Structure formats: structure tokens, C-alpha cells
Amino acid sequence: MAKYKRYDYSQSMLIPVFFEEQLMPGTLEFAIHTLVETRMDMSIFDDNYANDETGRRAYDPKILLKVVLFAYSRGLISSRKIERACRENVTFMALSGNQRPDHSTIAAFVSSMKAEILPLFRDILLVCEQENLLGGTFFALDGLKLSGNASKRWSGTIADISKKKEKIEQKVKQLMEEQIIVDQGDNTDLPDAISREKQTERLQKQAERIEKWLEQNDPKIGANGRELQSNVTDNDSAKMMTSHGTIQGYNAQALVDKEHQVIMHAEAFGRGQDNQNLAPMVDGAKENLKEIGQAEDYFEDKVFTADTNYHNQSTLEKCQEEKLDAYIPDLKFRTRDPRFATQSRYQPKKGKKFVLQDFKYDQDGDCYICPNGKSLKLRVKQHIRDRNIYRQYMADENDCTQCSLKSRCFYRKNTKRRTLDVPIGAAENNFSKAMLDKVDSEKGRKIYPQRMAIVEPVFANIRTQKRMDHFTLRGKIKVNIQWMLYCMVHNIEKIMNYATA
């Protein structure tokens, strides 16, 4: 018969713990401890405390920052879970000096770092620069869309939210009428009074909350002048389409250096589209670099990549202004790339709308022949649209009315005839056309694909390894603090892995 050593879970054991021995060199907790103690200016928090003569002693911001950074590195984003870790986890005990801040203290510390978060981020960036972790020649920009602490159910235009309030008030009225019927004894099949009373109270609070919100908020207007959807829970957040479905959240941006994937600047925006994010990200990175002693022209003539979502005239003008060697393709750049010519996803689909290439040019008559054999005659010799110069050809209305292929030719139901704009040149300062030529060049097709290998691993580290898949705070300021703290953890890991000292 086999014999095994006896074990007993009911026994206890006292273990001597030396906190310094728990912070082993080469570990992330040691890097966080050392950087906070020796390389970060924590005096910026002193003005937040006025307890030098009276009042209780506060937790040292060094302790709170160490605990929060290490917790984020372990995927602990909840302040209650961080509080528990400080009581139960030896490494957290060592970092906190066995102090045990409660969840409200931790949450308040993170939320209140509005003025301090950027200087702290720059302190870490300065260490990266001093340790030669910045290549300074190739940069990539991208965004990570994350859910916020807000519900999609409370999103809509001001009119939509007002209608929601009216529906809630109607439901409250209905419940009250049911209560009257029950009190009169006319119907005993209705829900019990306690349940109805709780539901009525809950709905009344919702209606009052919406009414107060409507009094304090105006419609959100987008860049195109149209009203955007607001959100009662967190009006700084936005509804966004992602690969994981539609979310209510923030677009967390990161500008990354190629050499060691150090984040140069980070910021969270409450808009899903990236076409307005490049300018503030570049300006923020320049300001960070200026604060750590770099020159104003740090980005001049440096390779800069971003995906197709950033491609628009204003973004490209910003790149030109900053003298960036930018590679930002348009949405159709792969359809022009011969390397993708054999892939089915870039082939014309059956039943697809007719485009310029489907019309044949008749040089003798200076007209175009449509797929149904009808001619489109010259109407305008030259007109400018989207900084491009076009010649416009137009079909006869009778030909289009009787055409069996008009469903593939018209983009709108009320269209009466097909027009064809043929590009013949580019207007002055057409940065978009110049960028297309640059991306489609042999050099551009070698440079742009490197973008993914630079910035995507950064997001994989933060989202997958650090388990940062949603924001727990509300409002752009607080969400931005949380995002920058995670980016600081990422940069600290780079210091731990690659720094020589």
C-alpha cells in the first residue's frame, strides 16, 4: 500500500517578512519602488495637503502611487481589489510599507491627479531618454477603443433623451393608476403593492435625474455641424463601433517610438473617429519632449505612420506644418497595391456600383460610354472639389430613366441622371493626393506596414497582459488619468527590461 506524507490545512505558521527582500532587483515592483523614490518628483502633491499644523497625517503619495501602478500592472483596476491586495498580498505589503489604505482613499487619489499625472508621465519619459530607450527616428500613432463606466441605454440626442424621460413619466403615471385600482379593490391580479411602489420610486428618480441633466447640458455638435449623441451617465464618452461591437466609451490614443515601443504621449478622447486626434497627440508629444530637454524640431523629417482613419486634409496639413515624413494611407490604398490584387476581399463584387473604370472614353466624341452603351456628354470642362480638378460628364435623363442597370449606377433614389467626375489634376496644396502617391511608392509600401509591429504590441500588452479592457472612472479628465497611469506602467516595464543602470 502506498504511503504519503500527511498534510493539514488547519495548521498555522508565522513567517518573518522583510519588506526590502520582497522587492527583488529585476522585478517590476522593484522598478516601480526605485523610480518613485529616486527619479520622480513627488513634491507636486504637497500643495494638496494642508495638514502641517493640524489634522491627521495623510498617506504618503509615494505609497499610493506605487500601489496603484503595481496593481494596474497585475490587472487590478478596482480600488476595492487594490485595498484587499494591500491586506493580503506580501508584495503589496512591501510596496506600501504594510500600510493599508482603504478603497475610498485609493479611488480619491487616482481621481484627483488632474494636475500631477502629466509631470509624472514626463518623469518616466525622461528616464527612458536618459537610458537611451528612444530611437527618435520612427513613430506610430494609433487608438484603442475601450468601454467606459457608462451605459449605451442612456445615449441619444437631446430630443431622444427628452422622449425617454416622457416615457418614464408615463410609466410612473400608469403605475399610480394601477395603485388606485388596487386600493379600490377592483382588480387583484395586478402586481403587489410593494413591488409597484419600488418600481415607481426607481422610475421617479430616473426621471428627476434626466430632467436635471437636460437643464445642465446642451446638445453636442460634431465637426460637421450635426448633433452628436449625448450620454446621461458620462457625457464626455461617445458611442463607438469596434471589432467587439458597439461600445459607450473612450478612444485611448498612444504615440509610440519604434526603438523600444516607449509611449511618447497618451491621451483619451471622447470621440470614435481618429481624424481629429493626430494634431493634439503630436502637440502633446512635443510638449513632453520639450519638458525633458529635447529641441522643438525633434519630429522634423522623422518617419511618422498612422492608419487610414487619420487620413484627411487637416491632418495632412498638420504633418506638413510639423515637417513630418508621414505615411498615412487612404481607405482604398490596398486596392491599388498589386501585392493584394489576387485577394478576394479587394476584388470588385458582383452587383457593385459602377465606378469611373466601368465607363469607356470615346476620344473622337469627347464623351464616355456607360456599361449599357449610352453616352455621357461633357457638361463642365473644369471644376474643383476636395482640392482636385475634375471634368464633368452627364447622361441624358431619358436614357437613365429607361435603363435596366440604373440600380447599379445611382447612389440615391431620387437621382434622375448619372454624372461622371473625371479627375484631370490636383489643386494647389492637395496634401491628400500627394500622400496617396507617397504611400503607393515602393518606399511607402515598405515603411507603412511597420506601423502595426510598433503600436499594436503596446495595446496588446495593456489590454491583454494588464487586463485593461474598460475604464472604471467617468469624465474625460479622470479617464485620461487612468489611461496615462497604464501607459506609465508600460514605459516602466521598458525601463526594467532594457535600461543598463
Higher pLDDT, 58 or 348: 58
pTM above 0.85, yes or no: no
Q: How confident is the model at residue 157 (pLDDT cuts 50, 70, 90)?
A: very high
Read off the C-alpha cell for 171: 410609466
Q: What is the per-residue pLDDT across 14-29, written as a single tens digit (0 to 9) for each?
A: 888 899 999 999 999 9
Could you please report the per-residue DSSP string of 193-258?
HHHHHHHHHHHHHHHHHHHHHHHH-PPEE-TTSPEEPEESS-TT-EEEEETTEEEEEEEEEEEEET
Distance CA 184, CA 264 (A): 70
**Tell me, what's the pLDDT at 238?**
94
Choosing among 3.40.50.12780, 3.30.70.240, 3.40.50.880, 3.30.420.10, the CATH entry for 128-149+233-329+448-498 is 3.30.420.10
Distance CA 61, CA 298 (A): 33
Q: Is the pLDDT score of 341 beyond 70?
A: no
Q: What is the per-residue pLDDT across 216-249, written as a single tens digit (0 to 9) for each?
A: 999 998 877 889 999 999 999 999 998 888 999 9
Distance CA 252, CA 484 (A): 9
3-state secondary structure of 370: coil
For cell 511597420, what's the residue?
450
**Tell me, what's the pLDDT at 310?**
95
Least confident of 155-169, 415-429, 433-447: 415-429
Least confident of 3-7, 51-55, 309-313, 389-393: 51-55
Q: What is the per-residue pLDDT across 445-471, written as a single tens digit (0 to 9) for each?
A: 999 999 999 999 999 999 999 999 999
